[in-house]
Structure 1
Amino acid sequence: MYDFIIRRARMADGGLTDIAVRDGKIAALGEVSGEAAREYDLAARFYLSAGWIDSHVHCYPKSPIYHDEADRIGVATGVTTVVDAGSTGADDIDDFYQLTRDASTQVYALLNIARTGIVTQNELADMTQIDRVGVRDAVQRLPGFILGIKARISSSVVGKNGVRPLLEAKAIQQENNNLPLMVHIGNNPPDLDEIADLLGSGDIITHCYNGKPNRILTPAGELRASVHRALQRGVRLDVGHGTASFSFEVARAAIAQGILPHTISSDIYCRNRLNGPVRSLAHVMSKFFNVGMTLAQIIDCVTVHAAEGLRLRHKGRLEVGYDADLTIFDVQESACVFTDSEGESVTGEKQLLPLAAVVGGEWLITEEGKKHHGFDL
């Protein structure tokens, strides 16, 4: 007996499948026979994917600068898993962990290498903020919660320290089982070439399509040689849209050259959720139809690629035995205006509407699903 079966779900590649769930895990796929306590028929109309993972958010409620509620940016918008990218350091990570245990959304963290996290905008201007022992102890206390570490390496954050905080981050990484390292890039100094040359396989450059002078493209619009070398070494590109870190122009030019993101993330917090330009992960994902990506490519960036990059071993795929984290959504074909972080607006013809999130087998209707008259299961 299955807990439930979802019938005739449309996949990102256009195919159809049934999916059965038992005890919070995917139990069967394909043409599923057998009994279930409940059945939901998507009637080949609505899409289903592995649960969406937003690998760069800010949801520590007590953060004085970047904060939000996990469920507001998570299951309410079809996102089953969120990863807070450095809001907290060793000083507050235990509090953050406790505050998010009651959320329906699954919440993880990238630990800021500065002990205070982002309490000010220049947390790495003082090298004494970096506490290797504090990081090690936090990782040992919360190994299932802390997925990696975060270092913000841009001029406003590091002050006069250049790449010294990044060198510390790399040392911390190696002392902690080579945890994933996410590196924020922005205004220089330090120059992106210096940053990229220090990164290795599995490291993540976030804000990869920012429109600032210190971006991944040269003034001639070609990929910087240092970034090309980094990609050859296995460095990953993360979108991290945010308030000031996504340019349609840069994304279009990069993707036209085959420089696709490994992961699409929002860098969402209350202000850019309410006032834009982020709004939600679905809204950010929808922008990538406008820069040359397909639905299947977009979905991979928030499922399988996101899980692989952060070593979430039982998430991100529709496979038997994996966590029953699922997102049910529609693709609405109607005009919608999208705005980037540079103020450029484009009119898109498609947008993703998340209708339900299933987390560990628990079915939750999204805000969009509640008002979507055709979605009545």
Structure 2
Amino acid sequence: MYDLIIRNARLSDGSLSDVALQAGKIAAVGAVTGPAAREWDLAGRYWLSAGWIDSHVHCYPKSPIYHDEADRIGVDTGVTTVIDAGSTGADDVDDFWQLTRDCTTRVYALLNIARSGILTQNELGDMARIDGPALKAALQRRPDFIVGLKARISSSVVEQNGIKPLERAKALQKENGDLPLMVHIGNNPPNLDEIANLLTSGDIITHCYNGKPNRILTPEGQLRASVSRAIQRGVRLDVGHGTASFNFEVARVAIAQGILPQTISSDIYCRNRINGPVHSLAHVMSKFLHVGMTLPQVIDCVTVHAADGLKLKGKGRLEVGCDADLTIFDLQQQPCVFTDSDGHTLAGETQLIPLAAMVGGQGFLTDEGKKRNDFSL
């Protein structure tokens, strides 16, 4: 007997499907037959996908600069898995891990190559903070929590060290099993060409559509040759919207040329959640419906592509045997206005509204779901 059968769920391609859950796993997908302890009929009205994964957040509550609560940006907003992108380094990652044990949202970490994490904005201004033995020990202590490395390679972070921190990051990556390496890009120096030339298959460029001079597009609107070569080598593009790292026009021009992100992430923390322009992963996803991406493409960026990029087993797919992590959402059609990180606005008419998150088969109404009189678990 199944624990739950969700019937007539609308998938991102518009088709209808049943999904059966048992013992925290997806047990059947399609036209499901057989008994269940409980059935829930979405009647084709509501949409369902594998649980949304936000692959770039900041949710270490003790971080002095970028912090938030995992469940506040996770299940409360339809996101079942979050990956903190470098808030902690080797010094604090154990404390972060301990705090996440009480979270409903699944939490993972990209370990900052600076052992201090982001205590200050210039954590890579002192090369002594890149402590190889401490990083290796942290990876050995928390192999199921740390899913990759994070290096913030922009002028305010590296100061006079230029490209040296990234060169060190690549060496540490190679020494520790070639974990995914997420590289933050922003103002130069170092120049983006220097950064891109060092990256290899599986590395992730985050803030890929920022509007700063050191961006992926040339002044003529073409993809930089160095970035093109990196993508051909298997380097991945991540949105990492954030407070200062997403520009509508850069995204629109790039996407029109087929330069799509592998992952759509929010770079969310308390201030850009409350004051904008991020607000939530769903809000960021909605923006991409208005700059040239389809709903299936957007959903893939927060499910299968996110899981593959960070090697998250059992996540991101509506397949038998995968974790019963699901997101149920609505598509709301009404006029709305979106804002990018540079203050530009974009009028739209479609918004993704998450209504519920299921983690290991356990359901939770989102903030929006709790407001709806026509929806319940």
- Using the size of structure 2 for normalisation, the TM-score is 0.99
Q: Measure how far apart 1:310 and its partner are.
A: 0.0
> Which secondary structure does the structure 1 equivalent of 2:263 belong to?
coil
1:140-179 map, 5 Å: 140-179=140-179
Q: Measure how far apart 1:374 and its partner are.
A: 2.3
- 1:317 alignment partner in structure 2: 317
Q: Measure how far apart 1:215 and its partner are.
A: 0.1
Q: Take 1:155 and 1:304, find their aligned partners in 2: how far apart are those partners?
A: 33
Q: Take 2:346 and 2:154, find their aligned partners in 1: how far apart are those partners?
A: 28
> Which secondary structure does the structure 2 equivalent of 1:2 belong to?
coil
- 1:11 alignment partner in structure 2: 11
Q: Take 2:36 and 2:168, find their aligned partners in 1: how far apart are those partners?
A: 53
Q: Take 1:246 and 1:101, find their aligned partners in 2: how far apart are those partners?
A: 32
- 2:293 alignment partner in structure 1: 293
- 1:235 alignment partner in structure 2: 235
Q: Take 1:372 and 1:183, find their aligned partners in 2: how far apart are those partners?
A: 39
Q: Measure how far apart 1:373 and its partner are.
A: 2.4
Q: Take 1:256 and 1:7, find their aligned partners in 2: how far apart are those partners?
A: 36
Structure 2 counterpart of 1:129, one-letter code: R
- 1:256 alignment partner in structure 2: 256
> Which secondary structure does the structure 1 equivalent of 2:334 belong to?
coil
Q: Measure how far apart 1:167 and its partner are.
A: 0.5
Structure 2 counterpart of 1:346, one-letter code: L
> Which secondary structure does the structure 1 equivalent of 2:229 belong to?
helix
Q: Measure how far apart 1:375 and its partner are.
A: 1.4
1:1-377 map, 5 Å: 1-377=1-377
> Which secondary structure does the structure 2 equivalent of 1:221 belong to?
coil
Structure 2 counterpart of 1:278, one-letter code: V
Q: Take 1:216 and 1:179, find their aligned partners in 2: how far apart are those partners?
A: 24
Q: Take 1:307 and 1:155, find their aligned partners in 2: how far apart are those partners?
A: 30
Q: Deviations over 1:186-225 (max 9, x none)?
A: 0000000000000000000000000000000001111000
Q: Take 2:196 and 2:314, find their aligned partners in 1: how far apart are those partners?
A: 30
> Which secondary structure does the structure 1 equivalent of 2:228 belong to?
helix
Q: Take 1:138 and 1:20, find their aligned partners in 2: how far apart are those partners?
A: 38
Structure 1 counterpart of 2:268, one-letter code: I
Percent of matched pairs sharing the same residue: 75
Structure 2 counterpart of 1:28, one-letter code: A
Structure 1 counterpart of 2:115, one-letter code: R
User: Does the CA contact (< 8 Å) of 2:365 and 2:376 recur in 1?
Assistant: no
Q: Take 1:117 and 1:313, find their aligned partners in 2: how far apart are those partners?
A: 26
Q: Take 1:262 and 1:158, find their aligned partners in 2: how far apart are those partners?
A: 26
Q: Measure how far apart 1:39 and its partner are.
A: 1.1
Over aligned residues, Cα RMSD in angstroms? 0.5
Q: Take 2:308 and 2:118, find their aligned partners in 1: how far apart are those partners?
A: 26
Q: Measure how far apart 1:36 and its partner are.
A: 1.2
Q: Deviations over 1:74-93 (max 9, x none)?
A: 00000000000000000000
Q: Take 2:364 and 2:292, find their aligned partners in 1: how far apart are those partners?
A: 31
> Which secondary structure does the structure 2 equivalent of 1:335 belong to?
strand
Q: Take 2:168 and 2:38, find their aligned partners in 1: how far apart are those partners?
A: 52
Q: Take 1:113 and 1:309, find their aligned partners in 2: how far apart are those partners?
A: 19
Q: Take 2:89 and 2:158, find their aligned partners in 1: how far apart are those partners?
A: 16
- Using the size of structure 1 for normalisation, the TM-score is 0.99
Structure 2 counterpart of 1:69, one-letter code: E
Structure 2 counterpart of 1:224, one-letter code: R
Q: Deviations over 1:151-181 (max 9, x none)?
A: 0000000001011000010011011110000
Q: Measure how far apart 1:143 and its partner are.
A: 0.3
Q: Take 2:48 and 2:337, find their aligned partners in 1: how far apart are those partners?
A: 25
Structure 1: state its 5+ residue gaps.
none
Q: Which runs of 4+ in 1 moved over 2 A?
A: none
Q: Measure how far apart 1:50 and its partner are.
A: 0.2
> Which secondary structure does the structure 1 equivalent of 2:156 belong to?
helix
Q: Measure how far apart 1:38 and its partner are.
A: 1.2
> Which secondary structure does the structure 2 equivalent of 1:201 belong to?
coil
Structure 2 counterpart of 1:196, one-letter code: A
Q: Measure how far apart 1:185 and its partner are.
A: 0.1
Q: Take 1:36 and 1:181, find their aligned partners in 2: how far apart are those partners?
A: 43
Q: Take 2:328 and 2:376, find their aligned partners in 1: how far apart are those partners?
A: 12
Q: Take 2:282 and 2:372, find their aligned partners in 1: how far apart are those partners?
A: 15
Q: Take 1:376 and 1:189, find their aligned partners in 2: how far apart are those partners?
A: 51
Q: Take 2:250 and 2:152, find their aligned partners in 1: how far apart are those partners?
A: 21
Structure 1 counterpart of 2:285, one-letter code: M
Q: Take 1:372 and 1:77, find their aligned partners in 2: how far apart are those partners?
A: 14
Q: Take 1:174 and 1:297, find their aligned partners in 2: how far apart are those partners?
A: 32
Q: Take 1:40 and 1:243, find their aligned partners in 2: how far apart are those partners?
A: 39
Structure 1 counterpart of 2:32, one-letter code: V
Structure 1 counterpart of 2:10, one-letter code: R
